[in-house]
Amino acid sequence: MAHSGSLEDRITSSLDSFSRKQRRLARFMLDNKYFVSFASAGDVGDKVEVSAATVVRFAQGLGYEGFSELQTAIREELPSYLTAVERMGERLSEPPATDDVPQSVFHSDINNIERTANALSASELDAVLDEMVRADHILVVGSGISMGPALFLTHSLKVIGMDARAALDGGLSLAVDTAQLEPSTLLIAIDLWRYVRSTVEAVYAARQQGVPIVTITDSVVSPLAQAADYAFEVATDGVTHSLSPTAVITLINVLIAGLSYRAPEQRMEALRRVDAAYRKRNLLIVE
């Protein structure tokens, strides 16, 4: 089988044939391109508990002569490669001192936003904004770490006058929501890392019902990305064990800004109505 294109293209075109171990390796490579671009095959294998030989065979299975050619291909894809690699090398060789933790977190989040921005397709963004404008109703699904961004997106959509509702608790409630989806509804699902079963099942149920699906997730090998009509990939690297949702929130801000520019007078009128409602009910503290 001939292979061509970027690492991401090669992985997605072969995804159905991967074993579980190969999927884990594929995900690691896509999520950690800077690390993979300068680490040894053994270093990469250690991260996902496979041998260096397995890493090399995986690269060859994707159509590269070996792991070094895969690394060269990654370097050519990455913006500002040398600077990024130097920073990554420093982070890996010497953990930050306690008083450097804030700077490390800020730096990591800035890098997540940059990577997410570089991966964003302008044509896909326009298509998603069209879907959002056309939809009679938007159902936003998110649980666990994705609950906060899902709630933020739903609230932001409501404030600018769109009919949106959040499904945050999964289970029977989400099953009822997805059973009643109409083709004029748009489903937006947010899910990261250890994917929540109810969110994934909601996406596949919506797909069977012919409902347009937008997903925000952290990998092209995510089960959400595979089932979506439009999939946004966000970087979520954290300084320690935790994930960072900063780039997810930034992407949501992009969506809201895009919608606002599409119909500025309509969005401003919605904002004025919300502001008037707050004041009428004395919900605001005005100094």
Q: What is the pLDDT of residues 65-82, one digit of tens each?
A: 999 999 988 888 765 444
Residue 80's pLDDT is what? 46
Residue 285, in any domain of the structure: no
In terms of domains, do 70 and 149 share one? no
In terms of domains, do 129 and 71 share one? no
In terms of domains, do 132 and 257 share one? yes
Nearest partner of 141 among 185, 85, 76, 80, judged by Cα: 185
Residue 136, in any domain of the structure: yes
In terms of domains, do 247 and 176 share one? yes
Residue 208 has pLDDT above 90, yes or no: yes
Residue 84's pLDDT is what? 45
Residue 284, in any domain of the structure: no
More confident residue, 11 or 1: 11
Domain boundaries, position 23: 7-77
Extract the tokens encoding 196: 């929540």
Residue 90, in any domain of the structure: no
Residue 127, in any domain of the structure: yes
Alpha-carbon distance values, 274 to 87, 116, 158, 266, 284 (Å)? 45, 31, 9, 13, 12
Mean pLDDT of 83-98: 52
In terms of domains, do 185 and 52 share one? no
Find the CATH number of the domain harbouring 63.
1.10.10.10
In terms of domains, do 140 and 41 share one? no
Q: Which helix (H) or strand (E) holds 13?
A: helix 7-14
Indicate the pLDDT class of residue 128, thresholds 50, 70 and 90.
Answer: very high
In terms of domains, do 198 and 274 share one? yes
Alpha-carbon distance values, 67 to 4, 38, 56, 80, 228 (Å)? 15, 11, 5, 21, 31
Mean pLDDT of 22-36: 86
- DSSP character at residue 166: E
Mean pLDDT of 126-139: 97
In terms of domains, do 27 and 144 share one? no
Torsion of CA 164, 169, 171, 175, to 10 degrees: 0
Number of domains within the chain: 2
Find the CATH number of the domain harbouring 269.
3.40.50.10490
Q: List own/partner pairs for 67-70 with CB under 8 A and 24 or more apart.
A: 67/41, 70/7, 70/36
Nearest partner of 138 among 181, 209, 187, judged by Cα: 187
Residue 286's pLDDT is what? 63
Q: Is the pTM of this model over 0.95?
A: no
The highest-confidence range among 26-40, 114-128, 230-244, by mean pLDDT, is 114-128
More confident residue, 128 or 73: 128
Q: What is the pLDDT of residues 153-165, one digit of tens each?
A: 999 999 999 999 9
In terms of domains, do 139 and 212 share one? yes
Provide the 3-class DSSP secondary structure of residue 233. Answer: strand
Mean pLDDT of 115-129: 92
Residue 143, in any domain of the structure: yes
In terms of domains, do 144 and 269 share one? yes
In terms of domains, do 131 and 236 share one? yes
Residue 243 has pLDDT above 90, yes or no: no
Cβ proximity of 154 and 163 under 8 Å = no
The runs of H, that is alpha helices, within 62-146 are 67-77, 81-93, 101-119, 122-134
Mean pLDDT of 174-202: 92
Provide the 3-class DSSP secondary structure of residue 156. Answer: helix
Mean pLDDT (the chain, rounded): 87
Residue 287's pLDDT is what? 45
